[in-house]
Amino acid sequence: MGWNDWTREVEIAPSLYAADFMRLGDQIEALLAAGCRVFHVDVGDGQFIPPITIGPIVVQSVAPAIHQAGSRVDCHLMIVEPERHFEQVREAGGDSVTFHIEVCDDVAAAVARARQLDLGVGIAFNPDTPVETVAAFSTEVDLLLCMSVHPGYSGQPFLPESLDRLERLRELAGEDVLLQVDGGIGAANVAEAHAAGADVLVAGSSVFHGGDPAVAYADLVRIAGCRTPARAGARAGRAR
């Protein structure tokens, strides 16, 4: 279940890790009403990253309402041995998995396992991992995720060198793979990150910690210049 047949030229993906879990259902419904098409689920195991975050049980709870609205659940696995958990994510209702290259011994096997389960698949990489390491897999996956903070904690400031890394990744990977950016994305940098090459921009604190998540989401959509062309050729026409 790939991305290219349903994503717009640019998507804002609220990170549920930053949500108010007392009000999670209401916040998701409000974001769906505002037009949100992809929700980002940060899964941390306390090993690859320090905190234990959320996982398949949360996906299982929220996926039915998200799918009913025609939107998707994108699971960012910040865990060791990620491929061991793909089936559990799929059974819970996840639509895609993105795993970290730093903890995957056999990238080709992990990608093949995700495809076998009909999951969209991406590869993430940390700020200190060379862009070239991940760009080599651009033809094998749906997306490449450039971390713009060191993964683990919501609310970290955006690392400005990430813009150069996104531009370099786009140059190396070409136009046929989606680029995702995660960490510190907000009104001050969302347009700049999109211009640098990002198609899917994960936003946590800037959506959920500023009052009304639906309003904050709509503001990011407006600033990023989201619009809905057909997927084919959409990225090729991106203003650079």
Q: Which residues of 46-64 are buried (b: 16+ CB within 10 A; e: fewer)?
A: eebbeeebbbbebbbebbe
Share of the chain above pLDDT 70, in %: 90
Residue 182 falls in the annotated catalytic set: yes
Q: Please check whether residue 171 lies inside any domain of the structure.
A: yes
Look up the CATH number of the domain holding residue 26. 3.20.20.70
Chain centroid to CA 101: how far?
Answer: 15
| Chain segment 62-73, per-residue pLDDT in tens | 999 999 999 999
Q: Please check whether residue 3 lies inside any domain of the structure.
A: no
Instruction: Determine the pLDDT at residue 14.
Output: 98
Is the pLDDT assigned to residue 1 strictly greater than 60?
A: no
168 closest CA partner among 133, 201, 142, 203: 133
Q: Please check whether residue 117 lies inside any domain of the structure.
A: yes
Q: Please check whether residue 140 lies inside any domain of the structure.
A: yes
Confidence class for position 90, pLDDT limits 50, 70, 90: very high
Confidence class for position 220, pLDDT limits 50, 70, 90: very high
Confidence class for position 9, pLDDT limits 50, 70, 90: confident
Domain that holds residue 110: 11-230
Instruction: Determine the pLDDT at residue 46.
Output: 87
Catalytic residue, from 42, 74, 95, 199: name it: 42
Q: Please check whether residue 29 lies inside any domain of the structure.
A: yes
Q: Please check whether residue 2 lies inside any domain of the structure.
A: no
Instruction: Determine the pLDDT at residue 51.
Output: 83
The overall average pLDDT reported for the chain is 90
Catalytic residue, from 45, 142, 182, 199: name it: 182
Q: Please check whether residue 236 lies inside any domain of the structure.
A: no
Residue 42 falls in the annotated catalytic set: yes
* DSSP characters over 46-70: SSSSSSB---HHHHHHHHHHHHHTT
Mean pLDDT of 54-61: 95
Instruction: Determine the pLDDT at residue 6.
Output: 62
Q: Please check whether residue 74 lies inside any domain of the structure.
A: yes
The residue ranking higher by pLDDT, 161 or 8, is: 161
Mean pLDDT of 194-205: 96
Work out whether strand 72-78 and strand 120-125 pair parallel, antiparallel, or are unpaired.
unpaired
Count CA atoms closer than 13 A to 105's CA, side-chain side. 3
| Chain segment 26-53, per-residue pLDDT in tens | 999 999 999 999 999 999 998 888 888 9
Instruction: Determine the pLDDT at residue 226.
Output: 64
Q: How many independent structural domains does the chain possess?
A: 1
